[in-house]
Amino acid sequence: MSESENDAEGDSSATSTDVLFFEVDEASMGIRVDAWVAELTGVSRAQVRRWIDAGRVLVAGAKVRASYRVSLGDSIEARPIEAVEMELTPEAIPLDVLYEDEDLIVIDKPAGLVVHPAPGHPNGTLVNALLNHCGDLAGIGGVLRPGIVHRLDRGTSGVLVAAKNDAAHQALSTQFAEHSIDRVYRALVRGLPRADEGRIDRPIGRHPRDRKRMSVVTKAGRDSITNWRVTRRFRDSTVSELEVHPETGRTHQIRVHLSAAGLPLVGDVIYGRARGRDALLGRPALHAAHLGFEHPRSGKRMGFDSVMPDDLLEWMAELGDAESPE
């Protein structure tokens, strides 16, 4: 997911199915294309948005955004993608469990742990660990990612929730889709922003030349909003610590938005072009510090926190004195 997230994934672990063709009638005018295609195909809107992001849904032969509203007579072509079947193996990977009940489990994920398997990386993931810890999660949320509601990048540490049954998965997925989840990240960035806080409202989509990266320079980006505020400025450095509140959950959203704003994450070799000591950190300096949501069964509001991990604390300690905005 976010970083967050409920993020759209690429189609590297997918195969094509038959091409589907639709034509918009009068009764369907004005409906969002992602919702309309989802209803006709019987798959989730999140899955249809993945098709759209991959350029696999065309209106009159052209790519569109998920928010496009269909018009009478629109001809729509959809090329669905399906997850490749993989045999998932439970593995006794240690988990730092913050909370667990019959419906869900909340994990404090360490940096370096991949959330779900993919072709070429079938083992050693959080999903493998959850299968060992929770038992049978088959089919919950999809073949490749049973129980997974959102994800954190491999290099991002912090709080993550997973579902243990279909009802919990649907309820939590809906909250992420409606942006009613509370998410707070802590980030170390290269840059000394003049303002104490800011808001980044720029669509994010696949990079026009590098499909493995995301970018704000795109013709088919999805609406993306990230809020940030400075918590500390290090006096003898160009590094600042930010508290980040993403309103949406796009792939690599925080990393892409902060880089576009001239505040790249320390340690981010992809979007921040980290060099020297930054690169030695070994991962983007991003930590999911808080996650809040309604329990899918009781409706009770719950919140979970994770302290800054040792690698980031040690890295900050070498920066020296810092000051907080007044």
**307 class by beta-carbon count within 10 Å (0-12 exposed, 13-18 middle, 19+ buried):** exposed
Close Cβ partners of 124 (under 8 Å, ≥ 6 residues apart): 91, 93, 114
Tally the C-alpha atoms within 13 A of residue 187's C-alpha that lie toward its C-beta: 35
Tally the C-alpha atoms within 13 A of residue 145's C-alpha that lie toward its C-beta: 22
Q: Which residues of 125-156 are buried (b: 16+ CB within 10 A; e: fewer)?
A: bbbbbbbebbeebeebbbbbbbbbbbbbbebb
Structure tokens at 23: 């034509």
Query: Is 236 assigned a catalytic role?
Result: no
Contact 79, 51 (CB under 8 A): yes
Dist. CA 239–CA 216, nearest whole Å: 23
Contact 274, 267 (CB under 8 A): yes
Element (H, E) at 16: strand 14-16
- Please identify which of the residues 7, 153, 278, 311 carries the catalytic annotation: 153
Eight-class DSSP state of 124: S
Active site residues: 153
